[in-house]
Structure 1
Amino acid sequence: MATNYVAVDIGASSGRLMLGQLKEDKLKLQEIHRFTNGFAKKEQHDRWNIDHLIKEIFIGLEKIKQMGIDNVKLGIDTWAVDYVLVGMDGKKIHDPISYRDHRTDTAVAELTSALPKSYIYEKTGIQFLDFNTLYQLYKEDRDCLAKTDKIMMIPDYIGYVLTGNAVTEVTNASTTQMLNLREGLFDQDLLKEVNVKPEQFPRLVEAGTVLGNVRYKWHVQYDIPNTEVVTVATHDTASAVLGTPGVGKNWAFLSSGTWSLLGAELNTPENGQAAFAENYTNEWGAYGTYRFLKNIMGLWICQRVRHEYNDKYSFAELAALAAKEAPFQQFIDVNAKRFENPDNMIAELQAYCRETNQVVPETVSQVMMAIYSNLSLFYANELSKLSQILKHPIDTLNIVGGGSNVALMNQMTSNLADVTVYAGPSEATAVGNIIVQMITSHEVKDIQHGRQLIKASFNIKQFTAEAGKYPGVLANYQAFLSKQKQPYFNSVG
C-alpha cells in the first residue's frame, strides 16, 4: 500500500494541505484543503493569527481521515524570518508580528551603526532586508524577550504545537541573518546585539529529521489519522528549490510566488565582495546545499492589484488582459521600498510613473502588463548579475511556483535574458516538501533521484528565446535603474 504524504504549505496569503502518493513511478498530488492567511492590526502591530493556521491544519487532516486514510506522514513549510515567542509555560506570549510590520523600518541603519554591514555579511552571507529576524529581534519588546523561554520560527512552532517537540530547522534558521556560515551555529556576537541567548533557540536540525507523532490530545479533539511529523525544509523557498526539476547544465531557479527568489543552488556559499555588493544571500538548503539568491518583490504586486480590483479577475484573466497591451511602456524598479506595503498598490505604481515622467498605466490591462514587463526585466537583469558573480553563463532558468503559469512573463523573460526557460511544477513547494519526506522514508534515494521523479511526474513547459525580439530593451532598463536612487533591496552601504 502506498505511503500517504501530506504537505502543509502556508504562504502569506493562503495555505493548503496537499496529499502525495507514489503511483506507477509517478508522484501524484491532490489538494485536500485550502484556507486563507493574512495579517491584521492587533496590539499596535500587524500580526498573524497562528491559532487559525493550526486549526485549519486539523480540519484538513480530518478531511483526509474521511477519505479512509488512517496513517500519514506530514511536513510543514511556511514563509521565513517571522517567529513566535514561547514562555516558560510552553505557550505563545502573543501572536507573531508580520515581517511587513513597520517596526523595523529603521532597524538596519540603527544596528549597523554599531556593526558594519561587511562584518555581518562575512559572518552570515545573508542579504540585508529590514525584516530579517535579526532586526525584528532588535526591535522586539524587551519585557517579552525577558519572559521568553524559546524563540521558534513559524513552521517550527506549528510542529511544536502538533507534537510537543521543539527544534530549529536550518533552512529557515539561516534566513534570520544570525547563523554563522563557518561555525554552523547561531553567532554569539550577533545574538548579544539583540539581547538573545543561544539557549533561547531550540536545537538546530537538518531537513529530513523526524519530529514525532501528533499528540494524543489532538486525536481527542479532532478525528484525524495517525500522523508522523517530519521536519522538512521548512522555509517554503527551500522546499520550492527542492521541488525544481533542475533542467540544464548551468541552471538557475526562479521560485515565483508572493516573493520571487532568483538564484542558483551551490555546494559552497558565495559571500565575497561581488555578492555583498549586489546583496545576494546564502540561505542554507537541504542536504548540504546553499540557495544563493536575490529577493525580488514578486507576485505580491499582482496579488495586491487583484485585491484592489475587488478580486473581480482571476490571475489567469489578468494575464490574458495584459497580453493585449504592448510591453515595456514604462520602466519600474519593482524592488523599490515603496512597493513593499503601500496603502494602494495601483496608485503607487501610477505615482512612480508620474514621478519618473513615464507613461502612466490606467486600465487593468495596462497595469498588469506594466507589472509583468518589469518583473521580466528585473529577472533578466538579475540573471546577468548572477552569471557575473558565479563566473559562468546561465543557460537555463527553471521557474516554479504560481508564476510558472504566466506564459507571457515566462516568454518575455526567456527573450530578455536569452536563456531557455523551463516552467513548472507550479506546486514545487509542496513537491519539495514531500520529496524530503520520501527520502526520509527511503522511498526515494536522494535529491537527484527526487528530481528525476519530478521530471517524470509533471508537465514541464519549455520557452525558447526568440532572437532579437526586444533589441536594446534590457540595456535601456539597466541604464534607467542606474539613474534612479539605488534600489532598496540592493542598498548594502
Structure 2
Amino acid sequence: MPNFLAVDLGASNGRVLVGRWDGAKFELEQLHRFANGPVHILGHMYWDVLGLWSEIRTGLSKYASKYKEPPVSVGIDTWGVDFALLDRQGNLLGNPYHYRDPRTDGMPARLFNRVTAEKVFDTTGIQFMQINTLYQLFSMVEDNHPQLQAADKLLMMPDLLHYWLTGRKSGEYTIASTSQMLDCSRRDWATGMLDRVGIPTHILPDLVGPGTSLGRLLPEVAAETGLDGSVSVIATGSHDTASAVAAVPGLDPGCAYISSGTWSLMGLEICAPVLSAEAMRLNITNEGGVAGTIRLLKNIAGLWLLQECRRRWQRDGLDISWEELLALAAKASPLRSLVDPDCPDFLIPADMPAAIQSYCRKTGQPQPEAPGEVARCCLESLALKYRHVLGRLERLSGQKISTIRIVGGGCQNRLLSQLTADACGCKVVAGPVEATALGNVMVQAISGGYLESITAGRQAIAASIPQETFEPQPGNWEQALGRFGDLLETGATDRLTD
C-alpha cells in the first residue's frame, strides 16, 4: 500500500499527515500537529519559518519511526501571498514578513500612481487586497529595503520549504497566482507590469505546474528524519485552497464550491480567467488551479464572526460548546436580524457580539441578545452572502448553478449547510472535511502514476469519505434577500474597497 506525506500549513497551525492509498480510496492519519502564528518584533510581524521547518522535520521523523516502508513522496501546501528572499548563496535574508504586517498600509493607492488598477486586474485577474505579494514587495521598493537590494531569489512559502527539502529553487503555479504578479493569460510572471512599478524581476523563480517532481530528499534531510533518500518531493497544488478545490468530489459544470472555515472561499472551477470590468468592480479573483484550471472565487468572512462571538462569551465566563450553540441557534426565530459578514465593523472588534448588536441597531433591526439569537444571525447572514455571491458568479461565468459543494472544517456545521441550501435554493453536498490534505496527496498520487487524472482522483476521494446532502426547504428567503441587499448597498463592501 503506497503512502504519501502531506504537510499542510495554515496561518494558525500546521500538520503532517500520511495518506494511505489502497488502489480504490485514501485514508488519512495525522502524524504531527503544531501551532503557527505571527511573531511581533519592534512594530513588525514575522513568521517563524525556522520553527516551522523544525516542526516539519519532526513530522517526517514520526513517519520514519512508525512505518517501515518509505513514503512514495512528500508535498507541502500553505496559505498564500507570503514569501522569503534569498541571497546569491541561497541563504535566507531574514524571517519572512506576515501578511498582516502594517508595511503595506496605503501601498495599493501608491502603486496605482505608477500603473492603473485596471491594468493590474486586466493582467493578473486577482482581487485587490493590500496583503498581496505585489504590495508587500512594492513597500520594500518604496523603502529602499536592504533585503530587496541584496535578494537573488524570491520563493513563496511552500517553495522555500520545498527548496530546503531538495535544494531546488522553483515557483509552483497555484501559489504564485496568489501574488497578483502573474499574468493570468500567459500563466507566467507579469514582468512588464513589475518593471513599471520597480520590482526587480530577476529574483523571480522559474514556474512549475502542480504535480511536478522537484527531486529527491537531500541526503542531510533524509539522515536527520530517518527517511529513505529515494523519497520524491512533489509540488502539489501548493496553495492550500488549490489543494482543497482539487479534492472536491463531483465538481462539474453546474456546481459551485465553498471551502469553509474561518474564511469562506466560494467559487467556480473554470477554464479561462474572467477579466471583465464587472469582475473587477465586484473584486472577484482568478486564482490558478490544479490541472490547468482557474478558480473564479470570492473571499467571504466565513465562520469568523461566530468564532469570535464564542471566544468572547468564553472570556466572559459562558463556556458554551459548539453543539449547544448550534442547537440554540436552530431554535431561535428565523431571519429576524441580518448583518453583512464582510462589513469592516467585524474585522477585529474587541467584542464581536456587541459589534453585531451595534450593527443591527444602526440598521434599524431587532438586536439579537441571547447566544442562540446571535448565532442564528451570523449563520443566516453568511448563507445570504453565499446567495449574493452565487448570483454574481453565475452572471460572470454564464453558468447556472444547481449544486453547492462545501468542504473544509465548516462543512461539519449541519445547520449552516441547511441554511445555505435554503437561502441559495440549491442542493448542498457537504464533505470532505480534510479537503486540503486529500487534495495534496491526490496530486502526489497522480504524479506517481497511481491515478490517471484529477477526475479519477475526485472519484477516489468520494469513495473515501462520507458526504451529506441537504435539500432546500421553504422559507421567507426572498424577502430576506431583499433586506440583505439593502444592507450591502449601504455598506458597499463587495466593491473594489474590499
TM-score category, normalised to shorter length: over 0.9
Structure 2 gaps of 5+ residues are none
1:342 Cα offset (Å) = 4.1
1:434 Cα offset (Å) = 0.9
Partner of 1:216: 219
Matches within 5 A, 1:47-446: 47-72=46-71, 73-140=73-140, 141=143, 142-224=145-227, 226=229, 227-247=231-251, 249-310=253-314, 312-313=319-320, 315-446=322-453
Distance 2:338 2:110 in 1: 32
Distance 1:187 1:300 in 2: 34
Q: Which moved more, 1:34-43 or 1:407-416?
A: 34-43
Distance 1:424 1:379 in 2: 17
1:280 Cα offset (Å) = 1.1
Secondary structure of 1:40's counterpart equals strand
1:400 Cα offset (Å) = 0.5
Secondary structure of 2:433's counterpart equals coil
Change (3 A) 1:258 1:212: farther
Residues 6 and 75 of structure 2 are in contact (CA less than 8 Å); yes or no, is this contact kept in structure 1? yes
Q: Which amino acid aligns with 1:148?
A: A
Secondary structure of 2:202's counterpart equals helix
Distance 1:98 1:302 in 2: 24
Q: Which moved more, 1:405-414 or 1:88-97?
A: 88-97
Partner of 2:473: 466
Distance 1:60 1:310 in 2: 32
Secondary structure of 2:245's counterpart equals helix
1:303 Cα offset (Å) = 3.8
1:313 Cα offset (Å) = 5.0
1:316 Cα offset (Å) = 4.4
Q: CA deviation digits over 1:205-258, x for unaligned, max 9?
A: 100011122222234434345432100000011001101012565111111123
Q: Which amino acid aligns with 1:211?
A: L
What is the RMSD of the two structures over their aligned residues, measured on CA atoms?
Answer: 2.2
Change (3 A) 1:172 1:318: farther
Residues 249 and 395 of structure 1 are in contact (CA less than 8 Å); yes or no, is this contact kept in structure 2? no
Distance 1:362 1:469 in 2: 22
1:24 Cα offset (Å) = 5.6
* Number of residue pairs matched by the alignment: 490
Secondary structure of 2:189's counterpart equals coil
Distance 2:101 2:13 in 1: 18
Distance 1:256 1:83 in 2: 25
Q: Which moved more, 1:371-380 or 1:309-318?
A: 309-318
Secondary structure of 2:291's counterpart equals coil
Identity %: 37
Distance 1:83 1:119 in 2: 24
Residues 12 and 258 of structure 1 are in contact (CA less than 8 Å); yes or no, is this contact kept in structure 2? no
Distance 1:168 1:91 in 2: 17
Distance 1:313 1:85 in 2: 44
Q: Which amino acid aligns with 2:287?
A: E
1:91 Cα offset (Å) = 2.4
Residues 114 and 196 of structure 2 are in contact (CA less than 8 Å); yes or no, is this contact kept in structure 1? no
Residues 361 and 370 of structure 1 are in contact (CA less than 8 Å); yes or no, is this contact kept in structure 2? yes
Q: CA deviation digits over 1:328-356, x for unaligned, max 9?
A: 33222212234334445444434433433
Secondary structure of 2:183's counterpart equals coil
Change (3 A) 1:467 1:310: closer
Distance 1:468 1:364 in 2: 23
Q: Which moved more, 1:214-223 or 1:285-294?
A: 214-223
1:129 Cα offset (Å) = 1.3
Q: Which moved more, 1:119-128 or 1:330-339?
A: 330-339
1:274 Cα offset (Å) = 2.2
Distance 1:355 1:95 in 2: 43
Q: Which moved more, 1:184-193 or 1:208-217?
A: 184-193
Structure 1 gaps of 5+ residues are none
Residues 62 and 225 of structure 1 are in contact (CA less than 8 Å); yes or no, is this contact kept in structure 2? no
1:191 Cα offset (Å) = 1.6
Q: CA deviation digits over 1:359-408, x for unaligned, max 9?
A: 34444333332222211111111111111112231110011001111111
1:314 Cα offset (Å) = 5.1
Residues 346 and 367 of structure 1 are in contact (CA less than 8 Å); yes or no, is this contact kept in structure 2? yes
Q: Which amino acid aligns with 1:396?
A: T
Q: Which amino acid aligns with 1:243?
A: A
Distance 1:337 1:166 in 2: 39
Residues 75 and 231 of structure 1 are in contact (CA less than 8 Å); yes or no, is this contact kept in structure 2? yes
Q: Which amino acid aligns with 1:490?
A: R
Partner of 2:491: 485
Change (3 A) 1:349 1:204: same
1:419 Cα offset (Å) = 0.5
Q: Which moved more, 1:19-28 or 1:219-228?
A: 219-228
Distance 1:86 1:161 in 2: 12
Q: CA deviation digits over 1:51-74, x for unaligned, max 9?
A: 222211111112211212341111
Q: Which moved more, 1:69-78 or 1:88-97?
A: 88-97
Residues 420 and 465 of structure 1 are in contact (CA less than 8 Å); yes or no, is this contact kept in structure 2? yes
1:92 Cα offset (Å) = 2.1
Q: Which moved more, 1:401-410 or 1:214-223?
A: 214-223
Q: Which moved more, 1:200-209 or 1:82-91?
A: 82-91
Residues 11 and 79 of structure 1 are in contact (CA less than 8 Å); yes or no, is this contact kept in structure 2? yes
Q: CA deviation digits over 1:63-117, x for unaligned, max 9?
A: 2112123411111111101111222342222222222233323222222233222
Q: Which moved more, 1:449-458 or 1:295-304?
A: 295-304
Change (3 A) 1:350 1:89: farther
Distance 2:352 2:111 in 1: 30
Change (3 A) 1:159 1:447: same
Q: Which moved more, 1:391-400 or 1:315-324?
A: 315-324
Distance 1:455 1:296 in 2: 26
Q: Which moved more, 1:114-123 or 1:262-271?
A: 114-123
Q: Which moved more, 1:193-202 or 1:50-59?
A: 193-202
